[in-house]
Structure 1
Amino acid sequence: MSRVLNVAVVGCGIGRSHIVEGYLPNADKFKVLAICDLDQERLDKIGEEFGIDRRVVNFDDLLAMDDIDIIDVCTPPGAHLFMVSAALKAGKHVVCEKPLVGSLKDVDTIMAIEKGAKGLLMPVFQYRFGDGIEQAKAVIESGIAGKAYCGTVETMWRREALYYAVPWRGKWKTELGGVLMGHAIHPHDIFTYLMGDIARMFGRVATRVNPIEVEDVISASLEMKSGALASFTATLGSVDEITRIRLQFENVTIESDHSPYNPGKEPWKILPRNDEVKARIDKLLANWQHVPSRFQTQMARFHDAIFGKGELPVTSADSRRALELVTAFYHSSSTHTEVVLPLGPEHPLYESWVPAQYR
C-alpha cells in the first residue's frame, strides 16, 4: 500500500474543514480523490476550490471505488450508522464526525462490525489535539498533578435563527439532540479524556433559547470514578462565546484556553501549588515538541495507526463513553433521577434517547 492514502469526503459542510485543516497540511500522507454531497452546487464549489475532479451524489458509488482507502463521513448524524457500517463492510478505513451514531445500541453494532473489519474506524474529537490540552494531559499522566479533587466545564456558545435555517438542525430525527450532541460533546470529551470515567450523574436539559425541538441549555452534577466531583453547564444563548475547562488537583490547578472552537491549541494555565511542583512541571515540559491543533494532528496520527506506528488517537470506545453520557443526561432529566454508569442493553434508552414521537 502506498504511504499516501486516497480519501473520499462525504458531506461538504464540515468536510471542507477536514480538507483544509486535516488533509492539506498532511499532503505527504493523504490525497482527497473524491467528494460526495447531495447539493450539486456545493459539490462543484468545493471541487473547484481544491481541484477535486471526482464528484458524486451517490454514496454507494464511493464504496465501489477500489482506489479509495478512506471514507470520511461528514454528513448529518442521522446518516452515520448506515454510512459507517457500509464503508467498514466494503473494506475501507473510516473517519466519522461526531456523534458517531445515535444510540448506545448503534455504537455497539458499529463496534461489533469493527471487530471483523479490514479497515480502521476513527471517530472525530478534534479538540483533543494541541499544545494546551496535551501539556495538561502530560502533567496529569506523569503523576505530578496528584489526586483529582473537582472540575467544571462551561460551554457557552451562541446559535440563533440563521444557524437553524439549515433544515436538519434543531430536529431530533436528523440532529439526534441539541447542545449535548452538537456542541458540548467536545468539551465533555476533553473532560473525561483528562479526568477519567464518570461513575454517576444527575442532569437537566431545557429548550430556552430557540424555538427548536432539541435542547439548548443543560446542567449536570457528576461524580467521577476517581471520587472527584464535577459540574457541566452549557447554553447556546450566550452573548459572547467561551469554552472553559477548569480542573483542580492536589498539586495543580489547570484551566483551559477559553477559545470556543479550539480550546486545546494555546498553552493552558497550569498553576503549581509550590515551587517543588513548579520545578517538576518545568522539567517535564522543557523539551516540548509543538503539537498542531485539531484535525491536523488527529489525521496525522490516524495515518500512523493505519501503518502500525501508533494507537488510534480516538476510538469507538471513546465515542461510546460520550454517547453514554448523553444517554444518561436525557434519562436523568426526564426521570429526575441520578444515573449510575456504565449503561448496558438493559437501560430504558439503550436503543434510542430520541422521544418516541420524533423517531
Structure 2
Amino acid sequence: MERLRAAIVGTGGIARAHVRGLRALADQVEIVAATDIDAERLETFGAEWEIPKRYRSVDELLAAERLDLVHICTPPGAHAEPAIKALEAGATVVCEKPPCLTLTEFDRILAAEERNPGRFVGIFQHRFGTAAQTAKDLIDAGRFGRPLVAICHTLWYRPDAYYEVEWRGRWDTEGGGPTMGHGIHQFDLLGHLLGDWTEISALAPRLARDVETEDVSFAHLTFANGAVASIVNSVLSPRQESYLRFDFTEATLELSHLYGHRLDSWSYTPAPGFAQDPPLWPPRGEEVPSGHQAQFGELLDSLRAGRRPACTGAGLRRTVEIVTGIYASAFTGKPVTRADLDATSPFYHRLNGADPA
C-alpha cells in the first residue's frame, strides 16, 4: 500500500503532537516536508524529527511537493489562508483547533473544499478513542434514554505569563479567549454527542487577565432534542478539570480529565430501576485512548475507504457556531439562535462583533 505524503505547516509545540501521531501510523503515511516562517525553529524541528524537506513558506511548499495531507499547526490567526491554499492544491487539510477565527473564514474554507478533492478536517481529538465512540453509539441508539441535562466545564489555569506570547488574548490573532482556545474541545464533544443546538444565552467577562478577550465565559445552551446544557470556560481556575456530565432519563454518564481521556476517566450511573446485566458501561475489549493518533487513524481509514472523515463539514461548523453564539449573546445581552448567525450578523465576521476593517 502506497503511503500518503504529509507536510507540517508551523513547527511550534503542537506540531510535535501531530508528528508523534503520524509516526505511530508510519506504515500508512510519511512526513516529507515542513514549513515555518521562523528559519531557526524550522531547522531545529526538521533535524529533531528527521524531516527531509524544509520550506520557508506555504507557497514554496505547495509548489514543490505533491501532498496528500497538509497539517496546519500555526497560531489560530494563520489557519484559514494556508488551509485554502492547500485545498486548492488538492490536499486534505488537517487543522489544529480552532479551525479558524470566524464563520466567514469557515465558509470560505468550505467553499474551497467543495471546489477541490480534499477535505478540511478539524482537530478535535476528544471525539476519538474507545470511550467517546462507545458513548456516541449508545447515545445514538437511545440506550441511556432521552438526554435531559448536560454540564460542560473547562476549568483551566493560565497565569499572566501565558499571555506574554504575542498572539494570545487578542481578537485579531487568537480570535477569542478560553471560549475559543480552551473550552472548545469540551463543547465540541458535547455537540458531537448531543447534536445540533437551537439557542444560547451567555456572559463573557474579563475578570483577572490583562487581555483584549474574555478570561471566562458562562453559557446556557438548548439543543434541538430539548436537552439543556451549562457551559463554563475559564483560565482562572487553579484546580484544573475538564468535566462533562450527561443526565439521561435512564442514566448519568460523566467524564473527568484534563487534556485527554481513557475509559477510567468516565463513570456511569444507572437511574433507579434501570440497571442492566451486563452493564452498558464500561465497554469491553482493547482500549484506544483519545488523542491525535486515534483521530489520525480514523482519518486515514476514511480516506482509504473514500468516506468523508469525521470532524468535517456541518459537524465541524456546529462547533464554530457554538463559539460564535456564546460571544454574540454575551456582547448583545440577548439570547442567540443559529438563524441569527448568518452573514448579516457582525459576529459572523468577527467574534467580538467589531467592524473587521
**TM superposition score normalised by structure 2:** 0.93
Task: Summarize the Cα distance change of 1:138–1:281 in structure 2 as closer, same or farther, 3 Å threshold.
Answer: farther
Cα deviation digits, residues 81-136 of structure 1 (max 9, x gap): 11111111111111111221222122112112211212222111111112332232
Is 1:314 aligned to residue 311 of structure 2?
yes
- Residue identity matched to 2:40: E
SS in 2 for 1:60: helix
CA distance in 1, matches of 2:348, 2:274: 48
Do the aligned partners of 2:346 and 2:354 also contact (CA within 8 Å) in 1?
no
Do the aligned partners of 2:202 and 2:218 also contact (CA within 8 Å) in 1?
yes
Do the aligned partners of 2:156 and 2:234 also contact (CA within 8 Å) in 1?
yes
- Residue identity matched to 2:7: A
Aligned counterpart in structure 1 of residue 271 of structure 2, from 273, 277, 295: 273
Please, what is the CA RMSD of the aligned residues? 2.0
Do the aligned partners of 1:144 and 1:277 also contact (CA within 8 Å) in 2?
no
CA distance in 2, matches of 1:148, 1:263: 22
Cα deviation digits, residues 299-340 of structure 1 (max 9, x gap): 111111211264412113223111111111111111110111
CA distance in 2, matches of 1:211, 1:357: 22
Aligned counterparts, 1:223-302, within 5 A: 223-256=222-255, 258-263=256-261, 266-274=264-272, 277-279=275-277, 281-282=279-280, 287-302=284-299
SS in 2 for 1:297: helix
Do the aligned partners of 1:62 and 1:68 also contact (CA within 8 Å) in 2?
no
Counterpart residue number, 1:208: 207
Between 104-113 and 213-222, report the one with greater CA deviation. 104-113
CA distance in 1, matches of 2:48, 2:40: 12
SS in 2 for 1:356: coil
Counterpart residue number, 1:336: 333
Task: Count matched residues.
Answer: 355
Counterpart residue number, 1:198: 197
SS in 2 for 1:206: coil
Do the aligned partners of 2:76 and 2:174 also contact (CA within 8 Å) in 1?
yes
Which consecutive residues of structure 2, in runs of 5 or more, have no partner in the other structure? none
SS in 2 for 1:42: helix
Is 1:16 aligned to residue 13 of structure 2?
no
C-alpha deviation, 1:245, in angstroms = 0.3
Between 115-124 and 85-94, report the one with greater CA deviation. 115-124
- Residue identity matched to 1:356: A
C-alpha deviation, 1:16, in angstroms = 1.2
- Residue identity matched to 2:253: I
CA distance in 2, matches of 1:244, 1:286: 20
Counterpart residue number, 2:68: 69
Cα deviation digits, residues 200-259 of structure 1 (max 9, x gap): 110000111210111110001121111111111121011121000011001110000x22
Between 265-274 and 66-75, report the one with greater CA deviation. 265-274
CA distance in 2, matches of 1:311, 1:327: 25
CA distance in 1, matches of 2:263, 2:72: 24
Aligned counterparts, 1:93-112, within 5 A: 93-112=92-111
- Residue identity matched to 1:87: A
Aligned counterparts, 1:153-232, within 5 A: 153-232=152-231
Do the aligned partners of 2:328 and 2:353 also contact (CA within 8 Å) in 1?
no
Do the aligned partners of 1:332 and 1:339 also contact (CA within 8 Å) in 2?
yes
Do the aligned partners of 1:12 and 1:43 also contact (CA within 8 Å) in 2?
yes
Is 1:85 aligned to residue 84 of structure 2?
yes
CA distance in 2, matches of 1:247, 1:172: 32
The percent identity for this pair of structures is: 34
Task: Summarize the Cα distance change of 1:29–1:136 in structure 2 as closer, same or farther, 3 Å threshold.
Answer: same
CA distance in 2, matches of 1:90, 1:216: 38
CA distance in 2, matches of 1:265, 1:55: 39
Aligned counterpart in structure 2 of residue 356 of structure 1, from 333, 354, 357: 354
Is 1:141 aligned to residue 170 of structure 2?
no
CA distance in 1, matches of 2:2, 2:273: 47
Cα deviation digits, residues 1-24 of structure 1 (max 9, x gap): x5311111011121111111x201
- Residue identity matched to 1:295: H
Which consecutive residues of structure 1, in runs of 5 or more, have no partner in the other structure? none
SS in 1 for 2:11: coil
Do the aligned partners of 2:109 and 2:120 also contact (CA within 8 Å) in 1?
no
SS in 2 for 1:108: helix
CA distance in 2, matches of 1:293, 1:12: 23
Do the aligned partners of 1:89 and 1:117 also contact (CA within 8 Å) in 2?
yes
C-alpha deviation, 1:281, in angstroms = 4.0
CA distance in 2, matches of 1:78, 1:121: 16
C-alpha deviation, 1:191, in angstroms = 0.6
CA distance in 2, matches of 1:300, 1:19: 13
